[in-house]
Structure 1
Amino acid sequence: MSQFPVHGAGLGYRRALMGPLAGQNPAQVNFYEVAPENWIGLGGKMGRKFRAFTEQHDFVCHGLSLSIGSPAPLDEAFVRRVKQFMREHDIKLYSEHLSYCSDEGHLYDLMPIPFTEQAVSYVAERIMRVQDILGERIAMENVSYYAAPGQQMEEIDFVNAVLEEADCLLHLDVNNIYVNSINHGYNAEEFLYAMPVERCAYIHIAGHYNEAEDLIIDTHGADVIDPVWDLLDKTYERFGVIPTLLERDFNIPPLEELLGEVDTIVAYQKKWSRQDNALARNA
């Protein structure tokens, strides 16, 4: 597997955490993640605090509004702002969602791209254009979805085809695999093992909301549940330890509780690092 842009366990950096994290350096957190849309152009006291923090820690970007599958033209001016933001803060990677969120206006939600061969070519071309502007590969995240309009391919075949044609990286969201497996009735482990994890830059793990027995809403607003932790465990078992970030966007608990979940990531990573080291010694 290729070298990762970051290592260890990560935490989403939200404005609500600026105060609790000020002056702290939690040992279990190796990198942080921000949505560039929430920080580009930020000035004043808060901007200075953010800059001071990015100077001390490794950061990645996980965008919200690239809208890679949109029928509207690619917002190249926005991509150039992202490029400048990444340079200013030494951001290690830019990732986005394999979905769209705009047409003539912003839809304020992540909409599913039709799983078709035509969409594969369209999206891959737009990803390659983004990579040309940034001068580096980006990572695309497998997303949660609740309907599949115009579907002609299986989700896994669509994701793999886009990543291959665009020659981009994978941002693997373990929670999204679990959510989709419940909502669309497939085997989560089989889906995971069919992913091109050799392209993976880092992993997301998050919580969700159970609307019904067969409907889960991907909220990032709750603790990670055991079946999702188990899927992360299987990911490490099959593919080795991969940098993994706890994603929490709503109902953000005290920092100590978030760090407790980061500790769980670290524990799984140590478990499989020991296993890998033992196998290497016995080889």
Structure 2
Amino acid sequence: MADALPRRSAGLGLRRALLDQLIEAPAGAFDFLECAPDNWIGVGGALGEKLEALSSRHPLSCHGLSLSLGGPDPLDAGFLRQTRDFLDRHRAALYSEHLSYCSADGHLYDLLPLPFTFDAVRHVAGRIAQVQDALGRRIAIENVSYYAAPYRALGEVEFIGAILREADCDLLLDVNNVFVNAINHGYDARAFIEAMPGERIASYHVAGHYDEADDLKIDTHGAAVKDDVWTLLAHAYATHGVRPTLLERDFNFPPLPALLAEVERIRALQAKAP
């Protein structure tokens, strides 16, 4: 397993559309890259060679898409073995997955929210424990954006905290998701950040979103990070301390220098944080 990422580090999402630009990027342009193993397992040829080149040069973090931690279907043991091999091969420093589900008798091709119930806590925590055993490492779970809230016996803060404790895993705190959910569901984003268990935070994500309306934000990863999200990230640093932070961008890619300018903004906020 690779060494842990430095707390003061800023990364960029490794996307196929950016491969050539990332390979040609100047030294020190970013501190690490993050990819989804689900999109790379079994990929060979020129694309596989470029991934190998990047992972041999830069620390790699991995963010899963399809384990379906909250789903009803049995965990895919074969896929977990492939994921472990991928993480070990590329010496991945971190591995995270979404606190959601994406399959039920087949893939649903979306990250769907869970009911905030005690039964869901036990179900998800048990599955996270299985995943950690299968991968031979701790994982982090990411708070997700959602637009329709299932049944709630617990608040979201209590739900996330209960899973982290019962599963004994870490948290990937997505600051943009907190901002989007706070607008869409009418809660205080800063208070939500403050209520997160800082000792569990392994890393942060920031991304852009789409302003559908004053009271409706859509998590797209297809635009520049908004000023309000940068401000919320600074608040997270001030509250819980600096951790490795990734800039997510999935489409509508600007020229690489524009993305690297956002990576530099992460670094600037980290430098100012206590």
Deviations 1:142-188 (A, max 9, x none): 11111112221111110111111000010010001100100110000
Question: 1:230-256 CA distances to partner (integer Å, 9 max, x unpaired)?
Answer: 001111112222111100011111101
Structure 1 letter corresponding to 2:41: I
3-state SS in 2 of match to 1:249: coil
Tell me the distance in 2 between the aligned counterparts of 1:213 and 1:103: 34
Give the AA of the match of 1:157: E
Question: Which residue is 1:193 aligned to?
Answer: 194
Report the CA distance between 1:44 and its aligned residue. 1.1
Distance 1:21 1:244 in 2: 18
Offset of residue 26 of structure 1: 4.2
Q: How does 1:42-191 map to 2 (within 5 A)?
A: 42-191=43-192
Question: In structure 1, what is the Cα distance between the partners aligned to 2:192 and 2:199?
Answer: 15
Answer yes or no: is the 8 Å Cα contact 1:34–1:62 preserved in 2.
Answer: yes
Partners of 1:92 and 1:153 lie apart in 2 by: 32
Please tell me whether the aligned partners of residues 5 and 201 of structure 1 are also in contact (alpha carbons under 8 angstroms): no
**Counterpart secondary structure, 1:87:** helix
Equivalent pair of 1:137/1:168 in contact (CA under 8 Å): yes
TM-score (norm 1): 0.93
Distance in 1, matches of 2:166 and 2:152, equals: 19
Which amino acid in structure 1 is aligned with residue 243 of structure 2?
A: I
Matched, 1:239 2:252: no
CA distance in 2, matches of 1:226, 1:52: 34
Is the 8 Å Cα contact of residues 174 and 205 (structure 1) preserved in structure 2? yes
Indicate if the aligned counterparts of 1:10 and 1:30 stay in contact, CA closer than 8 A: yes
Tell me, in whole angstroms, the C-alpha distance in 1 between the residues paired with 2:26 and 2:60: 14
Q: Describe the shift of the 1:26–1:228 C-alpha distance in structure 2 as closer, same or farther (beyond 3 A).
A: farther
Q: Equivalents in 1 of 2:21, 2:199: separation in Å?
A: 36
- Counterpart CA distance in 1 for 2:117 and 2:158 is 10
Cα deviation per residue 1:220-277 (whole Å; 9 max; x = unaligned)? 11111111000011111122221111000111111011001111001111112xxx4x
| In 1, Cα distance between equivalents of 2:124 and 2:214 | 33
Alpha-carbon shift at residue 52 of structure 1 (Å): 1.5
CA contact (8 A) 1:175 1:207 kept: yes
- Distance in 2, matches of 1:236 and 1:165, equals 25
Q: 1:57 & 1:203 partners in 2: Cα distance?
A: 18
CA displacement at 1:67 relative to structure 2: 0.4
> 2:226 is matched with which residue?
225
State the shift of 1:23 in Å: 3.3
Where has structure 1 moved over 6 Å in runs of 4 or more? none
Residue identity matched to 1:146: Y
Counterpart-to-counterpart distance in 2, 1:203 and 1:252 = 21
Which has the higher mean CA deviation after the structures are superposed, 18-27 or 135-144?
18-27
Structure 2, unmatched stretches of 5+, are: none
Corresponding residue of 1:279: none
- State which drifts further: 71-80 or 110-119: 71-80
CA distance in 1, matches of 2:150, 2:175: 23
**Paired letter, 2:79:** F
- Deviations for 1:72-99, whole angstroms, at most 9, x for unmatched residues? 1111211111000011111112100000
> Secondary structure of the equivalent of 2:24?
coil
Partner Cα separation in structure 2 for residue 127 and residue 121 of structure 1: 10
Aligned residue number for residue 4 of structure 2: 5
Structure 1 gaps, min length 5: 277-283
SS in 2 for 1:227: helix
Counterparts of 1:70 and 1:26, CA distance in 2: 41
Letter in structure 2 aligned against 1:214: D
| Structure 1 residue aligned with 2:263 | 262
Shift, 1:211, TM fit: 1.4
Q: TM-score, normalised to structure 2's length?
A: 0.96
Matched pairs, number: 270
With over 3 angstroms needed to count, the CA separation of the structure-2 counterparts of 1:27 and 1:250, relative to structure 1, is: same
Q: What secondary structure sits across from 1:22 in the alignment?
A: helix
